Amino acid sequence: MKKIGVLGAGSFGTALAVHLAAAGRQVILWARRPELAQQLAAEGVNTRYLPDARLPDSLTPTDSLAAIVDCDIILVAVPSHGFREVLSDYLRLHPVERPAIVVSCTKGIESETLAQMSQVSFEEGIAADREVHFAVLSGPSFAVELAAGSPTVAVIASEEADLAAGLRQDLSTDTLRLYSSDDVTGVELGGTAKNVIAIAAGVISGLELGHNTLAALLTRGLHEITRLGIACGGQARTFSGLAGLGDLVLTCTGGLSRNRRIGVELARGRSVAEVTGDTSMVAEGVRNSLAISRLAKQKGVEMPITEQMVKVLYEGRSPAEAVERLMTRELKAEAEL
């Protein structure tokens, strides 16, 4: 079996590493902070990010990117704002004579450039003078459940059909089933935009507005995500699949969703600073709400739910007023995309 390197020892990176190592793969897990790598090696558990998952013997923690260079597949599981730096540092160490197979597990886009991780990987490959073959892994997958071996289904997308098919085989296990796709843009944007809708879902829960409202939010939220994805070159069918509807449902309804939890707390009167200060884990929807809103404006796409979440997160609008604004918008035909 191929040797796998995981860049990022947060909750999802650790979960991927634990899951794949438990399935018999040889895995190296890189942590940015030396003290975290040392703690992982000494205690055999990531007490900060994934305390209930023991690290299998075939999983090696490290804080050295050089320890990853002989891995066959590199999974990058860091927040979107750190993706470029981490990948850049790694690629400069990757052997020149061997193409790098980079799989993004990041659900976000760059705030400054609005670049998807696929574009970032392309740019950093050129900058490092390395050949990079890119894929993205996404879908409904909570870290805790993945690490525990709960049956999980996701999608692996690459513009190279053979690469997607090969990675589908290399990374699937008895409890992680992967489907392949060639729609990199759709898969990346589906995983990014759903986090903003999940904050809105938390607002609805926190305001105790009921299942009618939540069902409406999920449906109209999927419309928003689909509109943006198509405008950016994604395929419509992707958004009714695992990286679209599947991930949206999980993140908007699951109690383990960090983005949903933020919405719940906002509806209860807490500030963004108070909520995000409670955890070291990154909720991508807070940062990416601005980026998605800017991208939508750039593409001429209407995203009213996203716009209201930006108002709540950054402009002081109350969650209740945001819901009211959505409900009193101009009436229109449902089929309009």
Residues with a known catalytic role:
194
> 56, 18 in Cβ contact below 8 A?
yes
* Amino acid in position 239: F
CA nearest 252: which of 277, 287, 290, 222? 222
Residue with tokens 């890189």: 30
Question: Which of helix, strand or coil describes residue 73?
Answer: strand
Q: How far is CA 4 from CA 53, 112, 258, in A?
A: 19, 30, 27
> 187, 136 in Cβ contact below 8 A?
yes
Round to whole Å and give the CA distance between 41 and 192.
32
Half-sphere exposure of residue 242: CA atoms within 13 angstroms, side-chain side: 18
213: how many CB neighbours lie within 10 A of its CB?
A: 19
258-267 vs 284-299: helix crossing angle, rounded to 10: 90
Tokens of 157: 């997308």
Radius of gyration of the chain (CA): 19
The alpha carbon of residue 313 and the mean position of all alpha carbons in its chain are separated, in whole angstroms, by 20
Looking at the DSSP bridge assignments, the partners of residue 6 are 29, 75
| DSSP letter for each residue of 90-111 | HHTTS-TTS-EEEEE------T
Q: Report how far apart the first and last C-alpha atoms of the chain are (Å, whole number).
A: 45
